[in-house]
Amino acid sequence: MPYGFKIRRNVFQILCNLLDSTGHDETLFPLLIPETSLAKESAHVGSFEEECFWVTRGGSTPLKVKYALRPTSETVIAPMLKLWIRSHADLPIKLYQIVSMFRYETRATRPLIRMREVASFKEAHTSHATLEDAEAQVKEAVEVYKRFFDAMGVPYSISRRPDWDKFAGAVYTLSFDMICPDGRTLQIGTVHNLGQNFSKAFDITYETEKGTQEHIWQTCYGISGRAIVAVLSAHGDDNGAVLPPNIAPIQVVVIPIPYKKKEGYINKICEDIAVKLRKAEVRVELDLRTDLTPGSKFYYWELRGIPIRIEVGPRDVEKSEVTIVRRDTLEKQTCKMSELVPVVQKLVGEIKQDLWQKALQWMKEHVYRVESLVEAKQLLSRRAGIVEVLWCNRAECGHRLEEEVDARVLGVPVDTGEKIDGKCVVCGRKAEHVVRAAIAY
């Protein structure tokens, strides 16, 4: 719907700007992937074949080769890369697209979180001459995603997914997860190093400086409409959405408090305020509806998460003041009319920062380091958030952990710099990593 779409525009615009400014080019590849292409990488097709929607007919004519609706685009981009890439001078190629993607979900769907038609999906695909370049690209992608979620004040955990849970066709997968208000985690972004798996399957080679032919190295990384869920669930409260001002389609709503025979005068002042703020590039909505009480308007805009409400009543007018209410704290303050623009501009920055700090603090309080499976299970059974335990790094113990605590291993947190000294919580052998687990969406 229109208001939601405006939030989507703002969210994806931040992401596009970050990708554009780091040398990514936007593109558009076909939705329909011939079965013959999808089948070229064996791990990939094994994972996706049963999860695809299949187009089998054009009109009433059966198609000779059936098409999958893209579940992801590696296999439709690869044949083009094979044509475009000749020599090392053509590399790197960093492409992205914002499209819809499809999964034939057999699990229960949930709006924006798990859908059969993922209406908003940003997928990036990069090609490189060396493993080192691909590794550096993974780091760049992680930095871009960090800056993206930071810009929305959304805290995250970054971990390397265990091998049994990586993207089909990847060498390894890094994942951004957030903790939702209900204590479950939600995967909100993934970064994959594909190695040469797809380039070998599709035989995509380039001529090196020495004149030899080598297969390219690839990465891919994606963020979906879940980014919208992330910002909604990181900041929302029992009164509805709480939008950071940089995401909010409307940053300030101006509401007159009518007083007998002064309606026209008060409305005029509200209009002046709107004009003044718009000149200062604040996104303002002026709510002059006559069929709603001020109270219903407050409720209406609170639900939609508008960061700042300005009320103008007869007493405010007398004192050349207005009343300002923050959506995040619901705190009221009065403000001299003459200081309105700088006060609002300052608030816009403060609210964004305060929302982020509050969300960071909340996240911190919901990550638990524990030393036994019993403790871990107890926390997870009441959906307390993420638990961290020490782990020997063997898949056997990872699976065992998942069974014992009835949760999902998110993986080993990335770049914590922590020195590990202790024993695996499952087998008691020397631990190699901290590993995170949670009840995941």
**Applying CB under 8 A, does 211 fall inside the site for a second copy?**
no
**Applying CB under 8 A, does 104 fall inside the site for a second copy?**
yes
Region near a second copy per CB under 8 A, out of 95-103, 260-268, 367-375, 414-422: 95-103
HSE of 340 in the Cβ direction (CA atoms, 13 Å)?
28
Radius of gyration over every alpha carbon of the chain, rounded to an integer in angstroms: 26
Range list of β-strands (E), 115-211: 117-128, 157-160, 172-179, 185-195, 205-207
Spatial distance between the Cα atoms of 221 and 146, rounded to a whole number of angstroms: 13
Region near a second copy per CB under 8 A, out of 49-57, 317-325, 381-389, 409-417: 49-57
Q: Which amino acid is residue 203, in one-letter code?
A: D
**Applying CB under 8 A, does 290 fall inside the site for a second copy?**
no
User: Tokens standing for 103?
Assistant: 């999964």
Angle between helices 340-364 and 263-279 (to 10 degrees): 70
In the complex, what is the shortest distance from the CB of residue 74 to a second copy, in angstroms, rounded to a whole number? 18
**Applying CB under 8 A, does 8 fall inside the site for a second copy?**
yes
**3-state SS assignment for residue 3:** helix
Q: Which amino acid is residue 219, in one-letter code?
A: T
In the complex, what is the shortest distance from the CB of residue 81 to a second copy, in angstroms, rounded to a whole number? 12
Spatial distance between the Cα atoms of 90 and 436, rounded to a whole number of angstroms: 40
How many other C-beta atoms are found inside a 10 Å radius of the C-beta of residue 232? 21
**Applying CB under 8 A, does 1 fall inside the site for a second copy?**
yes
Q: Give the nearer residue to a second copy in terms of CB position, either 80 or 343.
A: 80
- Select the residue interacting with a second copy from 17, 21, 36, 54 (CB under 8 A): 54
Region near a second copy per CB under 8 A, out of 54-62, 130-138, 202-210, 266-274: 54-62
The length of the chain, given as a count of residues: 441
- The interface mask with a second copy, positions 118-147, x = CB under 8 A, is -xx---------------------------
Region near a second copy per CB under 8 A, out of 53-61, 174-182, 253-261, 352-360: 53-61
Spatial distance between the Cα atoms of 170 and 277, rounded to a whole number of angstroms: 49
- Select the residue interacting with a second copy from 42, 87, 117, 208 (CB under 8 A): 117
Spatial distance between the Cα atoms of 153 and 352, rounded to a whole number of angstroms: 7
In the complex, what is the shortest distance from the CB of residue 287 to a second copy, in angstroms, rounded to a whole number? 15
Region near a second copy per CB under 8 A, out of 99-107, 144-152, 304-312, 376-384: 99-107
**Applying CB under 8 A, does 382 fall inside the site for a second copy?**
no
Q: Give the nearer residue to a second copy in terms of CB position, either 69 or 384.
A: 69
**Roughly how many angstroms between the first and final C-alpha of the chain, as a whole number?**
24
Region near a second copy per CB under 8 A, out of 43-51, 235-243, 332-340, 396-404: 43-51
Please report which helix (H) or strand (E) contains residue 198, including its range: helix 197-201
Q: Give the nearer residue to a second copy in terms of CB position, either 227 or 425.
A: 227
**Minimal CA–CA distance to 231: which of 212, 214, 245?**
245
Residue in the structure block whose two tokens are 């609002």: 344
**Applying CB under 8 A, does 58 fall inside the site for a second copy?**
yes
**Applying CB under 8 A, does 52 fall inside the site for a second copy?**
yes
- Select the residue interacting with a second copy from 14, 43, 53, 354 (CB under 8 A): 53
**Applying CB under 8 A, does 69 fall inside the site for a second copy?**
yes
Diameter of the chain by CA atoms?
86
Spatial distance between the Cα atoms of 18 and 11, rounded to a whole number of angstroms: 11
Q: Where are the alpha helices (DSSP H) in 304-437?
A: 314-318, 340-364, 373-381, 395-405
Spatial distance between the Cα atoms of 79 and 201, rounded to a whole number of angstroms: 10
In the complex, what is the shortest distance from the CB of residue 292 to a second copy, in angstroms, rounded to a whole number? 12
**Applying CB under 8 A, does 67 fall inside the site for a second copy?**
yes
Binding site for a second copy (CB under 8 A): 1-2, 5-6, 8-9, 25-28, 30-32, 49-61, 67, 69, 95, 99-100, 104, 106, 117, 119-120
